[in-house]
Amino acid sequence: MTKSIEIIPEVVFAKDKIEFKPIEINAYNKSIEEEKKLFLKDDFKAIYHDMCVLREFETILDKIKKEGAYKGIKYNHKGPAHLSIGQESAAVGQAFTLDVTDHIYGSHRSHSEVLAKGLSAIRKLNDKKLLDIMENYMDGCILEVVRKSHNGSYKELAKKFLIYGTYAENFARKTGF
């Protein structure tokens, strides 16, 4: 959820137009062997990793909502749990092909899209940029939480930052995105 949205009527309601070039429909016709040549083995591993992260994230939300706990950690989540279990490949596939600066616009089930886009961006950004984002986002309050127990690379720290911030957002906490 966004914390604030600045709406400037002159910009939002300015007359304009959008032009498109033709978009092919049902045009995909590649074999698995052709498709495999477009990616590295590490790409496939990263895609699989991200799908597993998304599935576990959703599973945890589901268990907390239904059972009030996950692996012995109790939590009473009074809010909704709009899950996207089974849609991991769509979120990860989209994010894998996007640049760091590309935007996604989701729905009330967007945690998987947010996580997938974040995991993809973490892979694409260097350590200096990751640290800059974490230190400056919300004055570093999320970083302060995840850094306490971290003992590894900046990329791993950024993953913790992303996952923690997404859980905190789902649970309506101050340190949520």
Q: How far is CA 71 from CA 60, 68, 171, in A?
A: 9, 10, 18
pLDDT in tens, 134-154: 999 999 999 999 999 999 999
Residue 117 pLDDT > 80, yes or no? yes
Tokens of 154: 């900046």
Query: pLDDT tier at 159 (50, 70, 90 boundaries)?
Result: very high
Q: For the chain, what are the domain ranges?
A: 30-124, 125-177
Average pLDDT for 166-175: 85
Residue 54 pLDDT > 80, yes or no? yes
Q: How far is CA 145 from CA 6, 65, 85, 130, in A?
A: 29, 24, 28, 16
139: burial class by Cβ within 10 Å (0-12, 13-18, 19+)?
exposed
Beta strands of the chain (E only): which ranges? 69-70, 73-74
Name the average pLDDT for the chain.
Answer: 93
Average pLDDT for 62-91: 91
pTM, full prediction: 0.81
